[in-house]
A and B are shown apart, each in its own frame.
Chain A
Amino acid sequence: MSRGPRVAVVVFPGTWSERDFVDAAPAVGWEARLVWHTSAELGAVDAVVLPGGFAHGDHLRTGAIARFSPVMRAVEDFAAAGGPVLGSCNGFQILCEAGLLPGVLLRNDHLQFRCDWQALRVERTAGPWLDADELTAGDVISLPISHGEGRYHADPDVLDALDAGGQVVLRYADPDGRVVPDANPNGSARGIAGVLNPAGNVLGLMPHPERAADDEVGGTDGLRILRSLGRWLSAQPAVAERGL
């Protein structure tokens, strides 16, 4: 495609990572645009990002109020039509509350807010956010985490279905790629750090790819996820022409 992906970055009251996505946009060729949560429309975009933060103060439950913001109906329609949606951190929590992804994010098992670089094992490359030209299954990447409520939970049968369906795409790992309890920063079930919806177009992950976009601040592995979008869109001309 000649132009870069047009990406709507949704901002709720309390979102804090939208500027990091906008700052990373030039490095991956995105035309990023901020969309306030009261907007009922996303406009002409190729993808939607729900950034991290504390939408509506995380009151009641993380994402519980945000999921009823007017913009979320547009996000749900966009996702249902196959449009690429990325939810990072609080965005992941919102996607779970909205039912676009299974499970829920609970308080970290040690009750601490955890802000650190975290090794992650790539379980599978699939869809618009994990392109095989950027990542390979088994890769160990390093991304920042920054959350107090990142303990992924779902019923055992749901976890089994996620595993069987290849929907678990990122797990917390040690630097050698081993998914072991000591490498799990929050007590997440089966070390789950990122999941896809069954169709593969919606990715939720607790880490922050947008904060690993510059060598000067620690690494650029996040760019591999953000850059995947353009590669995927280029290979999907039909989707691009539908203006999703």
Chain B
Amino acid sequence: MRWLADVHVRLRPGIADPEGQTIAGGLKALGFATVNEVRAGKLLRIAFDAADRDEAEAGVAEMCRRLLANPVMETADWELRVEADQVAGEVAR
């Protein structure tokens, strides 16, 4: 089966995020006075194959552990779903 994982890589809480602070400053300058904080991160959309959800979950976890996030400064979490085209195709069949 083909899967899509949206992996969110975030700076760990407490680590200064100058990029997020700058974006927050921009929003405030535009008049969004209610903005308290912005934290910048990365979104990585990964298309991959796995036999079932357990294998897909384990696969993403391993990708995050080996490469996608550095635990010294980052955390990773993800949303996993079956690729939409494939779902549509299966329904059509």
Contacts and interface: CB of A to CB of B under 8 A. Distances in A.
B33 interface: no
A111 interface: yes
A61 B71 CA distance: 12
Contact of B18 (A68, A103, A108): A108
B25 to A, nearest CB: 11
Interface in B40-93: 42, 67-68, 70, 72-73
B15 A106 contact: yes
A36 B19 CA distance: 34
Contacts of A103: 72
25 contacts: A60-B42, A60-B67, A60-B68, A64-B67, A64-B70, A68-B67, A96-B72, A97-B70, A104-B70, A104-B72, A104-B73, A106-B15, A106-B73, A107-B19, A108-B18, A109-B18, A110-B18, A111-B18, A111-B19, A153-B15, A153-B72, A153-B73, A154-B72, A155-B72, A187-B18
Interface of B: 15-16, 18-19, 22, 42, 67-68, 70, 72-73
A179 to B, nearest CB: 19
Interface string A72-106: 00000000000000000000000011000001101
Interface of A: 60-61, 64, 68, 96-97, 103-104, 106-111, 153-155, 187
Contacts of A107: 18-19
Contacts of B68: 60
Contacts of B22: 111
A96 B19 CA distance: 22
A153 B15 CA distance: 9
Nearest to A61: B70
Contacts of B18: 107-111, 187
